[in-house]
Structure formats: structure tokens, C-alpha cells
Structure 1
Amino acid sequence: MRLPIQIPGQVPAQLFLTLLSLVLGFWAQSAKADPSFWSYEFPKTDFSRTSVENWTEILSGGPGRDGIPALSDPSFIPAVDETRLGPREPVITVEFNGALPRAYPIRYLTWHEIVNDNVAKVPIAVTFCPLCNSGIVFDRRVKGQLLTFGVSGKLRNSDMVMYDRETESWWQQALGTGIVGEHTGSELTQIPAWMESWAEFTRRNPNGLVMDEPRARRAYGRNPYVGYDSRSRPYGFFDGEMPPHGVPALARVVRVGDRAWPVSRLAEHGELTEDGVTLSWAAGQASALDNGRIANGRDVGTIRVRDTQGRDLPHDVLFAFAFHAFWPDGKWMLGS
């Protein structure tokens, strides 16, 4: 998740990867969380209120607060006018009744991680943590308060720690839960959304909208984590337990509540109906964490999760190590 945002877009990705490999270990070992120090960075955060049992669980990812700049109120263009996205490139899709469907390309979220937006009068945060492959959309209203989210620059179990600009509380992206500050214990409402290919989105929504390219100097379309999802272990930001049952750490799993289905199992069957949910898999979506160019990533397929009435359900497709870290007692749906 810690990205080379201070490096001009023309710097070769391979050069950055070399630098990244040299400093990851240093950051992971030396950049432990220290509330007394970080109070200068987050003066409004109430560090006396937290659900984190051990501050050493939290690491600095390199860039500090807003070093990875979240976006707010992005511009959109008609899907038919978009010419930069490859057909297999992943986008996060949000479809609300009463509003045109919207696609948020991962090529932009890789470099910004959070987009604060409003759809059909619903304030939402579209989030993506590359280190966990976790792409989740939240309602930004909590206890009657409208929040705007930024990237804290901190990691816990390799997952992005967000913060809200109103109270400077810290939030765990994978959980959607406040972990430090005034909103400790508060939970964000997850909105049904899914990651699919650009071709899938446009085929279903020819009149839809797509987020326009931000006006920032970033290597949009490049993947600064070449080969990451083929590694045997996550980067050095994570030192927790590996998943049980022989599930590879960087294997994708579909999380619905506290249950996890291996994507490899879904790909084998195409569709599964278990525990009151139907999960489907279809080929055609590129991994954002494989090839140097996102559009050329290997096919990891698209997942949809629906209830018995065919309605889309909130879910996440994240790496197995992250599921085990945040849901250590979760249920693994491995089949017979």
C-alpha cells in the first residue's frame, strides 16, 4: 500500500521496486507506532481511546499523513468516452437505484486508496488497500456525523489505517471499524459493491459513468507491486500467523461476514450456494498486483455475491493472510 507518490510518474517502475525492497524491512522494523510522537501528526486524535492492545501492531508505511492523497468529489465522464482503460482492467462498481452506475478504476485507487464521493445523495468512501487486495465501499455517515476520510500512512496487519478529518479517529479499512480516537468501536456501514473488469462494467452499463483521471502526477496504469500476489509471503509489514488449512498467504478469498471462500474453489465450480449466499466466478478480470501494467495482469476473474433473492451483498475479496489476521476465528468455506 505504501506507494511512490513522491516519485515522478516517468521513473521506471523497476527502479522503484528495487528501492522498495531495500527499505521495506527497515520501515517494518523501525517505524513502530508511538502515540506520543504521532500526536504531532494527529493533534486532534484522542490516543487514550483505542481498541489496539499493543501499539507495536501498527507500523508506518513510509509516507506520513496524506502522503498518499485521498480524493474527494472526483470528476466523472461517460463510459463511452473513456479510452485509457484496458478491457480487463479492474474497477470497483457502485450501482444505486436512482443514479447512473459508477466505475472507480483501480489504476487510480492504487495511487490514492480512498475516494470520498456522493452517489444518489449517499456519501460514500471507495477504498482499496493494495497490500491486502481489499476493495470496500462504505457509507461515510456515522452516528449522525458526516465523515471525510484520508490515508493515515499507518498499517496494521499490512492493512491501511484510514482516518477521518473531522475527529482524526483512526479506522481499520478491512474491518470498517474505528480503532483509535473518538470513534473507537464505531462501525462503518459497508455498501454492496464489487470489483470487475472494465469490459464487464461497460457491457452491462453502456450509459454508466467512470471516474476521470485525477489531475495529479502519478504513473496511472502502472503497478508498483509487480508479482506481489504470486509471493509466498506478504511484504515485511506483516509478521502475523499464516492462514490455516494450507491456504497460501497471498491466495484470494471472498469474505462475507466472518466466512471466507477460496477464489480457487469458486473458479473450479463457477458458482456455489452455501450458508444462504450464492457466489459466482467468471473469467475476464486482470489482477492489479501482477504485471507491471495493470491491464496486462493475469486473469483472476470476477466475483459476485448475492442473497437468496438475487440481491448483491456486501463482501470483500482479500488475501488469505489478511482474513486470518482480522478474523482469526473466522469460518473457512473449503468444501468437502
Structure 2
Amino acid sequence: MRLLSFLLLLVTATALQANPDFWRHEWPETDFSRTSVENWAEILSGGPPKDGIPALDDPQFIAVRDETRIGKREPVITVEIGGQQPRAYPIRYLMWHEIVNDSVGDVPIAVTYCPLCNSAITFDRRTRRGVLSFGVSGKLRHSDMVMYDRETQSWWQQALGEAIVGELTGTQLGMLPSWMESWQQFTARNPDGLVMAEPAYNRSYGRNPYRGYDSSRRPFLYSGEMPPHGIHPLERVVRVGDRAWPLTRLAQAGEVNEAGVRISWVAGQASALDSGQISKGRDVGSIRVRDSQGRDVVHDVMFAFAFHAFWPDGIWMTGN
């Protein structure tokens, strides 16, 4: 009887969340009549409410030589724009904040990280509506973070960089080349670079609250199809456009030249989603993606299930 009652409550809660009327009290300024979402049941609460995961704005930076907290193998997101000093955004901070609204020179950017998809993407915040700033909605779709902009309260799919609910539905953010690498790799190449300083929040920076997640059998809050070709749903893949290269293949090959890009892999980066301490995570290596002229290419290193969810007709570069 208790199990039946629990299942009834679960079904009722899911049905309520599948109806945007359920969210209007929390999002009175969001235009739910405009959306590209066909099935509202795909959008679920991840647990925290709106801004329960606080995005960061205009962070402080310190010189690489003054940073003492970050472990050598800890991952950072590297951003290099227009001759400005290279910047490192440590995952130890993004794990707890997920979005950083910043500016590099005259380019307003949003550095984003979704732990549940391992998706790290840097966006240009300039749009036809002006420069936007982003927060964390607390919602997930296919286990991927749903962001929102503070100017119109529209909802955005982080993996796609596209507005999916609200006034700006259909608007696409420009993606900028950035990549994840180890702190040691960043500092070796950029001894005069900058690193985001520790935010003034009471958080366990350096700890992984998703311990063992990337070894789990199934993704969190995901009910879609699993990847084809026997690829584990939580295997990392390198996405370039609508193509995905399994990281296991790249680690074995070291370098692959295909589809107009050169993808290289080197050891030395800890998984942020393995051990309870990020610095102790197993080695998953670092990726760089360049074109035929050696220029960095926009890409993402995400979990295979997320690629399949958002690019169901995508091309799997398995090498077979």
C-alpha cells in the first residue's frame, strides 16, 4: 500500500511538472506560451530552486604564480580571446556555481559547466536583445542544466546554447573556443596567465559532491534512449558539431585527423566526477581540437548519453 501511494505521488508530481502552470508562481516573468519544447515532461527539477546554485558575476582573478590551492591534475576551463591574458576557470569552483558571467577584453562571456553531463561550454553573451547575464534555473532537461537569462527570464539549454522557453525562444548563443585541461598543463603554457580567485561563498571547494558519478550505470534524472554501438552512457565523447569521438578511442590513438579537425589527447587531467576530492580523480586526459590551420575549434567533452539526447541523428566517430 505504501509503495502504491508513493508511486501515485511520483506520477502526480511528474504530471504537475509537465505542465508549465506548475512553474508560473516561481517564474512570473517567463513567457511560457513561446517554447520549442514539445514534451514538458522532459523538464524536471534538479533539486535546488532558481538561483539555489548561485552563478558568479565579474569574478576576481589572481596571477598564476599566486595560486596555491589547486592540485596539479585538477581540471580548469581555459579561455584565450583576442590577445588577452589567458584565463583559467577552475572546475573546483564551477562545480558549485555552474555559470560565470565575465568579460575578456570587450567580449562578454559566460563560462558554463554542467556536472551531470560533464559539458563545459563558453558562450558569447551578446545577442539581438543585447548583452545577457545568466543564472541557474534549477531545472534539468535530459539531465543537462537549463540556464535562464536575467533580462527576459527565458530558459536556455546549456548543451545547445539555445533558448527553449520564453521571449527569446530559438535564439542561439555564439560558442567560443575553450577547453578543459589540467592546472599543471595550463600553468606550464601560461606562466603569466590569470586564474579565477576563490569565490566568497561557503562551499567545499575542491570536493566533488557527485562522487563516483562518471562510473555509474545510468545518468541522473534521465529516461531517454541510451547511446548506440555499445557505448557506455557515461563515457566521455568529444563533440564537434553533430559528430562525437569516444574518448577511449582518442586516448588509445593519441591523435586523430578526421572530418576537417585534428583532435589530440594527452594524459594528466583528473576526472572531476570520480573521487570525493577532485584532485584525486582518475586520469581522463586532456583534449585539444584544432582545424587544418591550427586554430582552436569549438567543441565539448560531454557524456555519451547527452550527445545522443540532443543529437539523436548525430554521427558517431568510432573508427569502425
Band of TM-score, shorter chain: over 0.9
Cross-structure match for 1:293: 277
1:190 paired with 2:175, answer yes
Return the letter of the residue paired with 1:238.
Y
Distance verdict in 2 for CA 1:281–1:171, change over 3 Å = same
1:29 to 1:251, Cα distance in 2 relative to 1, 3 A: farther
Distance 2:19 2:95 in 1: 27
Match of 1:323 in 2: 307
| Structure 1 counterpart of 2:267 | 283
Letter in 2 for 1:271: E
Q: How many residues align?
A: 310
Q: Is the 8 A contact 1:33 1:60 kept in 2?
A: no
- Counterpart for residue 250 of structure 1: 234
Distance of 2:200 and 2:18 partners within structure 1: 32
Change in 2 beyond 3 A, CA 1:29/1:288: farther
Change (3 A) 1:220 1:27: farther
RMSD: 1.3
- The CA deviation at 1:231 is 1.1
Q: Which whole-Å CA distance do the structure 1 matches of 2:45 and 2:13 have between them?
A: 9
Call closer, same or farther: CA 1:29–1:84 in 2, change over 3 Å: farther
Which secondary structure does the structure 1 equivalent of 2:279 belong to? Answer: helix
Residue 219 of structure 1 aligns with an amino acid whose one-letter code is S
CA distance in 2, matches of 1:96, 1:28: 48
Matches for 1:1-336 after TM superposition, within 5 Å: 30=13, 32-235=17-220, 237-336=221-320
- Retained in 2: the 8 A contact 1:45–1:168? yes
2-side partners of 1:296 and 1:29: how far apart? 41
1:6 is aligned to none
Question: Which residue does the alignment assign to 2:5?
Answer: none
CA distance in 2, matches of 1:179, 1:70: 20
For the residue of structure 2 that corresponds to 1:300, the secondary structure is: coil
Following the alignment from structure 2 to structure 1, what is the Cα–Cα distance between the partners of residues 12 and 99? 26
Q: In the TM superposition, what whole-angstrom CA distance separates every residue of 1:253-305 from its partner, at most 9, and x where no partner exists?
A: 00000000000000000000001000000000000000000000000000000
1:247 maps to amino acid: I
For residue 76 of structure 1, what is the amino acid of its counterpart? F
Q: Is the 8 A contact 1:196 1:285 kept in 2?
A: yes
Whole-Å Cα distance in 2 between the matches of residues 318 and 156 of structure 1?
A: 15
Residues 58-94 of structure 1, C-alpha deviation per residue, up to 9 Å, x if partnerless? 0001111000000000000000000000000000000
Shift of 1:34: 3.3
After the TM superposition, which segments of 4 or more aligned residues of structure 1 sit over 4 Å from their partners?
26-29
Please tell me the residue identity of whatever aligns with 1:309: Q
- What TM-score, normalized to structure 2? 0.95
- Contact in 2 for aligned 1:28/1:60 (Cα 8 Å): no
Counterpart contact for 1:50–1:181, Cα < 8 Å = yes
Tell whether the 8 Å contact from 2:18 to 2:39 is kept in structure 1 after alignment.
no
| Aligned counterparts of 2:13 and 2:53: Cα–Cα separation in 1 | 20
Which residue is 1:5 aligned to?
none
Letter in 2 for 1:269: A
Distance across 2 between alignment mates of 1:135 and 1:194: 8
Structure 1 residue runs of 5 or longer lacking an equivalent are 1-25
2:3 is matched with: none
Residues 238 and 246, structure 2, Cα contact 8 Å, conserved in 1:
yes
Residue in 2 that maps onto 1:23: none
Aligned-residue offset at 1:27: 8.2
**Any idea what SS the aligned residue of 2:319 has?**
coil
Deviation (angstroms), 1:120: 1.4
Alignment identity in percent? 70
CA distance in 1, matches of 2:258, 2:115: 28
Partner SS, residue 229 of structure 2: coil
Kindly provide the amino acid, as one letter, of the partner of residue 319 in structure 1: F
C-alpha distance in structure 1 between counterparts of 2:305 and 2:152, whole Å? 30
SS across alignment from 1:115: strand
**What CA distance in whole angstroms lies between the structure 2 residues aligned with 1:143 and 1:28?**
40
SS in 1 for 2:25: coil
Whether the 8 Å CA contact 1:28–1:59 is kept in 2: the answer is: no
